[in-house]
Amino acid sequence: MESTANNPHMKVVVIGAGLGGCACALALKNQGFEVVVYEKLRQFKRLGDSLGLGENALKLLRRWGGQQLYDTLTKIGNQAELMQIRRWQDGKILAQQPLMDMAGYIGHRGDYHEVFLQAVRDAGIEILMNHEIVAFDEDEPSVTLADGQEVTADVVIGADGIKSRARELVLGFKDHPRSSGYSCFRAYFPGSHLKEDPLCKDLTDHNCVNIWIGDDTHVVQNTLRGGEEFNWILTRKISHEKDLEITESWFQEGDMNEVFKCIGGLDERIVAAIKKTPNCLDWKICYRDPLPTWVSKSHKVVLLGDSCHPHLPTSAQGASQAAESSAVLAICLKLAGRDNVALATRTYEKLRFARTRQSQTNGEDLRDRWHSALKSVNEGIEIDPESIKMRNRPLYAFDAEADTMQRWNTVSSQVAEELKTGNISPLFETRATATVA
Ligand SMILES: Cc1cc2nc3c(=O)[nH]c(=O)nc-3n(C[C@H](O)[C@H](O)[C@H](O)COP(=O)(O)OP(=O)(O)OC[C@H]3O[C@@H](n4cnc5c(N)ncnc54)[C@H](O)[C@@H]3O)c2cc1C
């Protein structure tokens, strides 16, 4: 690796080869750093279902991986031009807007992941599978693998997902997920299950995205590959005490009889599709309060992606924001240089926090607007289509790299002051902050 004045052979360890870890590895490599990725799983399967990738992420990925990577990624996503937001009971279209206003390209998470992994390998970055990180020395910094091996680096990045171990180290305590008050049933299956049913024809003979909104509930449907693959996600408010217990898992099987109880009075076309669904997942929406910091006390272990800014499904920005964070962190490390990692990581968290909060709260706002819209109709008020549209488009114009270059001087000067006094201001005041030792 070539060394520059600001970058004398900086070595970065990335924990986790999810979409966030892969994007981070690409961004770091693009800035000329030595990167190694450690992933605890032996191998990846095609996990999850629909995931949105917005232009804010795609433009970065194109810079790091070229036009071919961009083209491959955009081909994975749904090619429909418009999406429809419909009334729960009869499917009447209440609003229609370009799919690009919503989630960008919605494709299968596993397909995106496979392309991300390949891009990392093509960039010559090593992904060590079956390598679980079990401990940290934040001062060195170093990580310890399950087999006892210790690996040192200049910076350690915890892109280790919603159940992050790195987050425990950064916070100094184990934080617990809390219920968002909502839960999802999710299913992804071959469209052939629905081919014979005339009621499903409208939903299966072409790529399309439809959303049915009801009282405290909504269903999103995504038909991909010209009808070869079909996905629905039913979100509803949790009403039972039992449901508030959080099992933070992407693998918990759902009970289709429970699903049937939630679709009373729903448009018969999507009901027909749900009734023919072979199986589904029960996903209690994992939610965490914003963190007071994303960086360890030594400033050398730093969080990225779901470990520090998980998103609700209605945000449709989890992976895209992880890509943006990757861009910002890589540039901060480059600008600060190897001898100034603290300045880089602390500036990174301050540059990123407000932006990720905006995209997180967009999702909460949309869910609330959808879940209450019909209440007004029942009171005789006509729905203004604008009031139920997704408002993600402004997020897409953002260029995380350009923004970092533009704000670096101002924000890093403030951070330098804080580092001098040792008085690092928290990103967010939480009750949990008070319990940090
Ligand atoms: C199984 C699964 C299914 C998902 N399905 C969807 C979906 O359908 N739609 C959607 O919008 N979002 C989905 N997501 C979330 C989405 O992938 C993320 O929001 C986004 O990609 C950013 O993720 P991340 O890389 O920060 O975290 P993750 O995608 O969770 O990746 C974290 C990685 O770190 C690895 N890891 C964890 N701990 C360690 C350790 N100690 N040592 C080494 N490696 C470790 C994990 O095995 C994992 O590969 C899913 C996530 C998962 C894990």
435 falls in which pLDDT band (50, 70, 90)?
very low
pLDDT at residue 157 tops 50: yes
Distance 109 CA to ligand 1 centre (A): 10
Could you identify the atom of ligand 1 that is nearest to the CA of residue 318?
19
- Residue 224 near residue 306, CB atoms below 8 Å: no
Distance 161 CA to ligand 1 centre (A): 5
pLDDT at residue 285 tops 80: no
Predicted confidence (pLDDT) per residue in 183-237, tens digit: 899 999 999 999 889 999 999 999 999 999 999 999 999 999 999 999 999 999 8
Predicted confidence (pLDDT) per residue in 373-411, tens digit: 888 776 677 889 999 998 888 899 999 999 999 999 999
Mean per-residue pLDDT for 305-326? 93
Distance 139 CA to ligand 1 centre (A): 27
Kindly provide the b/e burial profile for residues 329-357, where b requires at least 16 CB atoms within 10 angstroms of the residue's own CB.
bbbbbbbbbbebbbbbbbbbbbbbbebbe
Give the residue, 40 or 315, on which the prediction is more confident: 40
pLDDT at 1: 42
Could you identify the atom of ligand 1 that is nearest to the CA of residue 322?
22
Which of 13, 19, 42, 303 has most ligand 1 atoms within 8 Å of CB, for mutation?
A: 19
Predicted confidence (pLDDT) per residue in 98-140, tens digit: 988 877 899 999 999 999 999 999 999 999 999 999 999 999 9
pLDDT at 390: 87
pLDDT at 168: 95
pLDDT at 240: 60
Cα dihedral: 64, 70, 72, 76 (round 10): 120
Distance 25 CA to ligand 1 centre (A): 15
pLDDT at 434: 33
Tell me the average pLDDT of the chain.
Answer: 91
Which of 22, 24, 43, 109 has most ligand 1 atoms within 8 Å of CB, for mutation?
A: 109
Q: Which residues line ligand 1 (CB under 6 A)?
A: 15-21, 38-41, 47-51, 109, 132-133, 159-162, 165, 250, 305-306, 318-319, 322
Could you identify the atom of ligand 1 that is nearest to the CA of residue 21?
25
Which of 13, 36, 46, 51 has most ligand 1 atoms within 8 Å of CB, for mutation?
A: 51
Distance 116 CA to ligand 1 centre (A): 13
pLDDT at 427: 96
432 falls in which pLDDT band (50, 70, 90)?
very low
Distance 376 CA to ligand 1 centre (A): 38
Distance 251 CA to ligand 1 centre (A): 12
Angstrom CA distances, 236 to 33, 217, 222, 259, 373, stand at: 45, 4, 18, 10, 14
pLDDT at 251: 79
Q: Which range scores top for mean pLDDT: 26-40, 239-253, 380-394?
A: 26-40
Q: What is the 3-state secondary structure (H, E, C) of the chain?
A: CCCECCECCCEEEEECCCHHHHHHHHHHHHCCCEEEEECCCCCCCCCCCEEEECHHHHHHHHHHHCHHHHHHHHHHCCCCCEEEEEECCCCCEEEEEEHHHCCCEEEEHHHHHHHHHHHHHHCCCEEECCCCEEEEECCCCEEEECCCCEEECCEEEECCCCCCHHHHHHHCCCCCCEEEEEEEEEEEEEHHHHCCCHHHHHHHCCCEEEEEEECCEEEEEEEEHHHCEEEEEEEEECCCHHHHCCCCCCCCECCHHHHHHCCCCCCHHHHHHHHCCCCCEEEEEEECCCCCCCECCCCCEEECHHHCCCCCHHHCCHHHHHHHHHHHHHHHHHHHCHHHHHHHHHHHHHHHHHHHHHHHHHHHHHHHHHHHHHHHHHCCCCCCHHHHCCCCHHHHCCCHHHHHHHHHHHHHHHHHHHHHHCCCCCCCCCHHHHHCC
pLDDT at 7: 55
Could you identify the atom of ligand 1 that is nearest to the CA of residue 49?
8
Distance 383 CA to ligand 1 centre (A): 37
Distance 114 CA to ligand 1 centre (A): 13
Predicted confidence (pLDDT) per residue in 352-379, tens digit: 999 999 999 988 899 999 999 888 776 6
Distance 305 CA to ligand 1 centre (A): 9
- Which residues make Cβ contacts (< 8 Å) with residue 411, sequence separation at least 6? 347, 350, 351
Nearest residue CA, atom 13 of ligand 1?
48
Domains in the chain, start-ordered, CATH in brackets? 11-79+109-174+291-387+399-422 (3.50.50.60), 178-287 (3.30.9.30)
Which of 39, 115, 359 has most ligand 1 atoms within 8 Å of CB, for mutation?
A: 39
pLDDT at residue 173 tops 80: yes
Mean per-residue pLDDT for 145-163? 97
247 falls in which pLDDT band (50, 70, 90)?
low
pLDDT at residue 178 tops 90: no
pLDDT at 298: 97
Mean per-residue pLDDT for 289-317? 93
